[in-house]
Structure 1
């Protein structure tokens, strides 16, 4: 049972984007059989700085593990994420709002990410863990759909972490529909389109190519219901929509 739990933890960390580099530390901590333990790791991401230069964002992750009521059965309880030693937030895990290491970074830099959620306006809507999607009971009065979320840096919850802004389907932003308004070459190829949609849904700034062969970066901005374009120096661009589609709007 203990080995099964360890393998589950390793797979979970890999799925969340932490790779396998923490496996040795994880094994050592689990073998100590403490009530809880922490593992720290840092990462760097390419990022455009305020002066326009290309630099690095440094992110520190503190992974907090707790032991359940089962003997020597551990789970990832939360991850405290700190961006450039300036902004910090703790993300809870195992409660239906799991975000990957890259998604946590993107949220802290102000981006939005796309998640499955239980939609029930009679209660607080919550974000689903991927494993929960197939566990919904028919006739429960709850519906699974996708929502966009971003951190609200003006509000904190009872635990002192940033609250979420949530944008539901009826907010009026549909990523694929909005992208189709613009002359983006990647939309002409199914696999390239799927990569583009998936990357933007994780909150990334994704490189793409316009029909005039100009390389751009794209970000999804569901709050403003638009796609934001940037040039290779990350200056904002005004890209005109496809004329034929705009005539039918």
Structure 2
């Protein structure tokens, strides 16, 4: 592999991982400098929070550079910080790192020691750290019993009539996003996130307050009850003599 091909491969990898193309020139510069290893840094604002990334690269004995993963640090205006190193074989993207550092779970396709592929939800234990300063990663294996689509379909969601709309919602939730949805019987918008640990969904209002799913289902039952009354009223009005 030529240096040019190596650089292009790394640039494609960064783009695929959600870091865009802003680091391309510096990446090319560092590879051509032939250092044994180097780090590229970038920052971004996420609302009122700041996210810092440190991307790691190392040269093999054959002279080829590899992307080894990145460090991510999330800082709040109050001065609180959460950080973690994500390795290349975990396949975590820049956006997924943010979601993990905010406590949400991300669905990934991984490989075991025997090289066999399996699926699992990953979630950081933000309440503890190991001897390396890393948050332990909890895996909820595909056999754990959490089925995202089943959990979603238990909710009284509006505008989920087409497969495309449902697929988009499931894709977003697997990335660890809080996805905005409509709830039947409510005029407001709500935020939905996956909770594989408890095999359910978390629902929040737009201010971030968590809501009970039972309350949402009760609102849907009220709408259904009101809908049943309409035909009856219409029939009665037709029978009234003026």
Whether the TM-score (by the shorter chain) exceeds 0.5 is: yes
1:186–1:196 CA contact under 8 A, matched in 2: no
Does residue 86 of the first structure (1) align with residue 78 of the second (2)? Answer: no
Q: Which residue of 1 aligns with 2:17?
A: 16
Q: Which residue of 1 aligns with 2:200?
A: 226
* Bigger strand fraction: 1
Q: Which residue of 1 aligns with 2:234?
A: none
1:180–1:187 CA contact under 8 A, matched in 2: no
If you compute each CA radius of gyration, which structure gives the higher value, 1 or 2? 2
Question: Which whole-Å CA distance do the structure 1 matches of 2:85 and 2:153 have between them?
Answer: 36
TM-score (structure 1 length as normaliser): 0.78
Matches within 5 A, 1:196-235: 196-212=169-185, 213-235=187-209
Q: Which residue of 2 aligns with 1:70?
A: 62
Question: Which whole-Å CA distance do the structure 2 matches of 1:169 and 1:24 have between them?
Answer: 40
What runs of 5+ residues in structure 1 fail to find an aligned partner?
47-55, 119-124, 127-139, 244-249
What runs of 5+ residues in structure 2 fail to find an aligned partner?
222-242
Following superposition, the deviation at residue 183 of structure 1 comes to 1.5
Following superposition, the deviation at residue 197 of structure 1 comes to 0.6
Q: How many pairs are equivalent? A: 211
TM-score (structure 2 length as normaliser): 0.80
Query: Deviation string for 1:127-173 (max 9, x for gaps)?
Result: xxxxxxxxxxxxx7x75332111012345456432221111133221
Q: What SS does structure 1 have at the residue aligned with 2:95? A: helix
* Bigger helix fraction: 2
Greater CA deviation, 187-196 or 234-243? 234-243
Q: What SS does structure 2 have at the residue aligned with 1:170? A: coil
Q: Which residue of 2 aligns with 1:106?
A: 99
Question: Which whole-Å CA distance do the structure 2 matches of 1:187 and 1:3 have between them?
Answer: 47
Superposed structure 1 runs of 4+ greater than 6 Å apart:
none
